Structure 1
Amino acid sequence: MKREFAVIGLGRFGASVCRELSAEGMDVLAIDVLESKINEFRHIASHAVIADSTDEKAMKELGIRNIDHVIVAIGDDIQASILTTLILKEFGVKKVTVKAQSNHHEKVLLKIGADQVIHPERDMGRKIAHSIISNNFLDHLELSNDHSIIEIRASKKMIGRTLVDLDIRAVYGCNVVAIKSNATNKMNISPLATDKIGPDDILIIIGADTDISKFERNLVIDD
């Protein structure tokens, strides 16, 4: 069964999420208080509606409680973001993802029941910073406030060595959960300690942010 999504707030972030979900063939209800935004998305989203998400009656009439996953992408109005999240959770929406403006905003959202809180600007800043520091850095996914998964290209310090040689888990506290070989184009899930790292291999690593930073400084950045 096709999942149904709603995106509340069609600023840069909300608009991007709405476009991508729609491009993937998902049913998307786009909601914004501005008519100009709704007019822009009438032919992109499955449905586009002018509505105030802090109006409980309006949300009920839209049938928001029947939506599988609602993304609250309201911009600078933190009060509206919090109130909208509260209404959605009181309605029993299965999953509510909310864009946070700050760590304090995130704490409030989590306390009132938000299932997932994201910081797009902060997370993008982290990715850019990592990519500036090292050309070997490919991607970063935040799992929690202090744990992440990173995707890196094998550095000169790693090539030709095995995982046991590098002793990544013992020295840095990180775990190599997969290695993608460019030579064979295959993903090696849970690689063995004796597996040797080849040129341009891609490593998927999970760990605490502090441990990952130490790992990057010592093994990922080529001298």
Structure 2
Amino acid sequence: VIKASKEGKHIIPEISPLLSALEQEYNTYKEAFVKQTYSGKGKELAKLDEERDDVFSQMKNYLKAFSEAKFVPHHEEAKELYEILKQHDLGLDRKSYAEETALLKKLIESLNNPNNQSKLRAVGLDMTYEELKRKQMDFERLYSEQIEANAELRMEKSASSLRKDLENTLRNYLKYIDAMKSVPNYKELYYELNELLKKERV
């Protein structure tokens, strides 16, 4: 309809505002239709979550085994560090994104004090701790971006809602052409659009 009205044999300058409104509604609908429902960061976020879970699990399993081996050096340090993990929930890697992020943040803060840093070095987990901290930071950054992007998308009209707006604008445009069909040029455009719509319905 837009193309026929703009480029057809019977172009009428007076309908430009109506045609512009219709074209604008169509472009808005088209953009919303092709846009993803969510931010598109879901897969990347799941990957980062899996990576931080892996690092946390390695640290947890290592400290558990170390704390149970009573006659190895730094057994006490391992036991104390494992208790810290217990305090922050050993099953945090099975929590929701939001819960796990909050729990890991608190755990990292606890492990960050000089005394616990010394214990981590003693049991050989200082590099693992740094890796956990990096993974957590990467996840938090992307998680914040996803929340922001999804909030923006929710504020936008849905494609189905925009389709209704487009249909109403198109209907009003066609009604106007129909009402004006007794006027020269409008008549020809009316029949041209009518034939076009008939073909579309077939």
Pick the TM interval, shorter chain. Answer: under 0.3
TM-score of the two chains, using structure 2 as the length reference = 0.22
- Flag the structure with more relative contact order, 1 or 2, with Cα contacts below 8 A and sequence separation at least 6: 2
Q: Which has the higher helix share?
A: 2
